[in-house]
Chains A and B, each alone.
Chain A
Amino acid sequence: MAYFIQLIIEGLATGSIYGALALAIVLVNRATGLINFAQGGMAVLSTFIAYALFNAGAPLAVAVLGAVVFAFVLGAVLERVIVRPFERGDPDTAVVVTIGLFVLLGGLAAFLFGYEPQQFPSFFGAEALDLGGVFVSVRSLGTIVVLIVVVVLLQLLFRATKVGLAMRAVADNPQSASLSGLPVSRLLMFGWGLASVLGAIAGVLVAPQLFVSPGMLDFVLVYALAAAILGGLDSPLGAVVAAWFIGVVENLAAAYIDVIGNDLKIAVPFLIMIVVLIVRPQGLFGRKVVVRV
């Protein structure tokens, strides 16, 4: 039983990392209707900034803060300079643009920092807590707490601030928002910056485990995409719940179903995703889009 609970908590922790990146994907999708394949690449580059600052002697907190600021600027600039011209164009082309960014950012990270995986320290240390026979690492608990804090902050931003209201207005109807005098262009940049920060948080959280390398988030990105689709692509809460669900289910499946094991556990979220999408094409929490011709 203790082992079972441990598996669930570890699953929630990995799920939280997928969730942070899934949230980023959902934010971008809500704001600009795009699926950003470069979200992982942006996060990797930001994580490398944290790594570089830390190695230059900055305290860990400062290094992470630097990465967050860098991520925000990177997201905003990429939206304005590269993605903007394609936003209202053909969505297939826009996807290829983000794929191009994915390749470019990965290449940039490799060029600047090399392919060699680098160590990165954790905020939470490596100890484990004994909670009545259940051993839980502080890192797992910390990761889960960070994601919950992020979700609460995002909800506050969207529900209780004017910027959040304006962002929701732009997501809902950019034309009306623009006609009501909202600075749509700046809000889109802000939305991308915010999404990029979420990615950076995911990157910094997972870096101690996976090490920092240009391809470190490739798999996390795939899981995050699965979570975002499963949650419905326009529901932040749905994305987080789906990410946790994926994290837990794949952990349990790997532990208890012999055929799956550790190497094939990545198939589990996709099988779930395909089954769910066949039953509910709009995802678990998504709105059904009805389009007039």
Chain B
Amino acid sequence: MNPNTTWQKLTRNLWVRIAFGVAVGVVLIVLPLTQSKSINLQLSMMAVFAVAILGLNIVMGYAGQVSLGQSAFLGLGAYIAAYGVAEGWPIPVIFILCAVVPAIIGLLVALAAARLRGLALAMVTIALPIIGIPLAKRLREYTGGAQGTTVSWLKAPDWVDGILENDQWRYYVVLLIAVVMFLLARNLVNGRIGRAFRIVKENEAVAIAMGISPYRYKVLAFTIASLYGGVAGFMYLGIVQYTSPETLSFHTSINLVAAMVIGGAGSILGTIFAAIYFVLVPRLANEIDPSLTALISGTVLLAVLFLVPGGIVSVPRRIGQVVRAVRRRIGPPPPTNPPYPPASVAPGAESTEKKNERKRQGQ
């Protein structure tokens, strides 16, 4: 009668999963029809930032490379979209450019940056938003300078006239893109490349021994993250219809990283929690007191790192752990044998401590 295993059994049942998926799908489709414009805007923003955070999660959560430059790719995508709209390019072309151009820039940056040991990569990536902002202000004829650019596009087409408002149409567009991007990411991280990412994160020497080039996979992870950032930029412009150098802000990058960790690094589901957190919590904090926003996000991030290092997505598992630990301490040991043999360290396995030590030195 262990509640934990019942819960696990339930979540692993295929039919339960399908039913849950269908329910979520129905809610996501019906929700915008019933809600106000401002709620729809927030839902759409969650989809936008879910894609941006998903990219960050691939490079950071799966491949283990700290990136503080995601906002630069978000901004780049938004600017490309804004320029394309102003020039009257067809939307599919704009979309492809928003994905490909940031990916190429990310590839070029990563080719240089992935050579660096350990955290130096994080610091090179900081440079992207820091340099991007003055650059965006400088290239006035393309970006509109410090004021930014306003566009009007992605309106509800004629055939849904009278059925869907603009905000609802835009919501469905970004939702569709987000769902596709999530499916692609899920296949990626569950496949050969995802396994390679995890080995590179875990131990680069082992990766080399297995014939996996850490350099190549770091570059790949960073390129994919940039592509996701660019696509998120496209979606951002679709929803907000405006972009300015503020979109690239270094603080956005920091907040994206914070949200990703709070949601759950290395987890697709965690990314969704992260996006909800990213959009919702600053808004709630703002309601209480605008000057409290940063204080609250910092506190939440540190609290998560101390209490549930796996992020929100690991809360059920963490509760199980704590409950078991408390039970072991206060009550008599459970009479039945545990279903699995206790995990023991294999004789050849190195300790986590040693592994972290090596990682710290940049191997």
User: Separation in Å of the A48 CB from the closest CB of chain B?
Assistant: 14
B137-167 residues at the A interface, CB under 8 angstroms: 137-138
Check A125 for interface membership: any CB of B closer than 8 A: no
Q: Check A88 against B356 for contact (C-beta < 8 Å).
A: yes
Are A91 and B131 in touch, CB under 8 angstroms?
no
Quick one: which of B240-261 are within 8 Å of A by CB? 250, 254-255, 257-258, 261
B359 near A90 (CB under 8 angstroms)?
Answer: yes
Would you call A59 an interface residue if the criterion is a C-beta within 8 Å of the partner chain's C-beta atoms?
Answer: no
Output the nearest chain B residue to A221 by Cβ-Cβ distance: B126
Q: Complex Cα distance A12/B238, Å?
A: 46
What is the CA–CA distance of A218 and B127 in the complex, to the nearest angstrom?
A: 12
Determine how close the nearest CB of chain B comes to the CB of A177; give it in whole angstroms. 15
Q: Are B292 and A106 in contact (CB under 8 A)?
A: no
Give the shortest distance, in Å, between A185 (CB) and chain B (any CB).
Answer: 17
A161 at the interface (CB under 8 A from B): no
B124 CB-CB contact with A under 8 Å: yes
Stretch at the interface among B9-17, B86-94, B114-122: B114-122
* 1/0 contact string of B286-325 vs chain A (CB within 8 Å): 0000011111111101100110010000000000000000
B98 close to A (CB within 8 Å): no
Please tell me which one of the listed residues A33, A114, A274 contacts residue B112 in the complex, with CB atoms under 8 A apart. A274
Q: How large is the interface on A (under 10, 10 to 19, 20 to 34, 35 or more residues)?
A: 35 or more
Flag if B305 contacts A96 (CB, 8 Å).
Answer: yes
- Assess whether B295 is in contact with A264, with CB atoms less than 8 Å apart: no
A95 to B361, CA, bound (A): 14
A293: Cβ under 8 A from any B Cβ: yes
Contact of A60 with B by CB under 8 A: no
Docked CA distance A25–B135 (Å): 28
A101 is an interface residue with CB less than 8 A from chain B = yes
Question: Any chain A CB within 8 A of the CB of B363?
Answer: yes
Q: Which of A63-71, A244-252, A265-273 contacts B (4 or more CB under 8 A)?
A: A265-273
CB contacts (< 8 Å) of A226 on chain B: these are: 123, 127
Q: How far is the CA of A110 from the CA of B131 in the complex (A)?
A: 25
Task: Point out residues on A near B: beta carbons under 8 Å.
Answer: 33, 35, 82, 85-86, 88-93, 95-97, 99-108, 110-111, 114-115, 214, 218-219, 222, 225-226, 229, 233, 263-264, 266-267, 270, 273-274, 277-278, 281-282, 289, 291, 293
